[in-house]
Amino acid sequence: MCDNWQTQNLGTNCYIKARIGWRGLSASEYLETGAFLIAGKHIKNGVIDWVNCDHISEFRFRESQEIALAKGDIILTKDGTIGRVARIDSLPGKATINGTMMLVRPLKAIDYRFLYHILNGKEFAKLIDDKVSGSSIPHIFQRDMVMLPVSFPELSQQQTIARILDTLDTTIRETEAIIAKLKAVKQGLLYDLLTRGLDDNGELRPPQPEAPHLYKKSPLGWIPKEWEAVTIAHLAINHDPESVKIHQ
């Protein structure tokens, strides 16, 4: 931390609220449309899955105006799987949080994007670890967040730091997406190799519908004619240890 950074309790510079009970709200009241109701299950890697959020009536939304969400808010899970953090960069409509969530709204001294990264840092992680290890039912109380010490520089530096960290997060997400696509390609290739095999030229055989003469039926489905389908037990019973050579 630099000399020009200051440390204050989060409650000094943030509006912090959680839903006070459910007020009788039940899942039977959820609607297909209406105000968004966000739960911890709708948060992944700091992003809200708006498509799968529940919806509530206008009456239920207005019932708890103290936790109605606005652009620039931070929300986090306080019960169950605690510590999932998301930020509200934009809103697709009216939105609120359910009873497992807490709202943290930065005031003028703290940039919300900077605070989002702070709440993904070691100070908040320590608070979560203390709660998880110290209780059979992990829970973050409102006072825990109010008293959480947060260090921050002046606003323009916060915004610069947030932009850099946002760029890194974007790069990480894009890299993860590429890795996921490559894994899917690998799975597809494995399936083809294990069901079609390679021809004499080392190329993947055409699929069975295109070259039925290359395949035969088996308990596993269509396999190349020269292949055999046997059980693992059969291989184990007929295994000859002397035929195995170890190459170093």
Dist. CA 193–CA 231, nearest whole Å: 19
Per-residue pLDDT of 167-193, as tens digits, reads 999 999 899 999 999 999 999 999 899
Domain 6-174 of CATH type 3.90.220.20:
yes
Residue 160, pLDDT > 90, answer yes
More confident residue, 17 or 80: 17
Per-residue pLDDT of 3-40, as tens digits, reads 789 999 999 999 999 876 656 788 889 999 999 999 99
pTM greater than 0.95 (yes/no): no
Q: What sign results for the dihedral spanned by CA atoms 179, 184, 185, 186?
A: positive
Joined tokens for residue 45: 């890697």
- Compute the average pLDDT of residues 137-162: 90
Per-residue pLDDT of 105-124, as tens digits, reads 999 899 999 999 999 888 78
> Where do the structural domains in the chain lie, given as residue ranges?
6-174, 196-239
Distances in Å between the Cα of 30 and the Cα atoms of 25, 27, 38 are 9, 5, 12
More confident residue, 197 or 20: 197
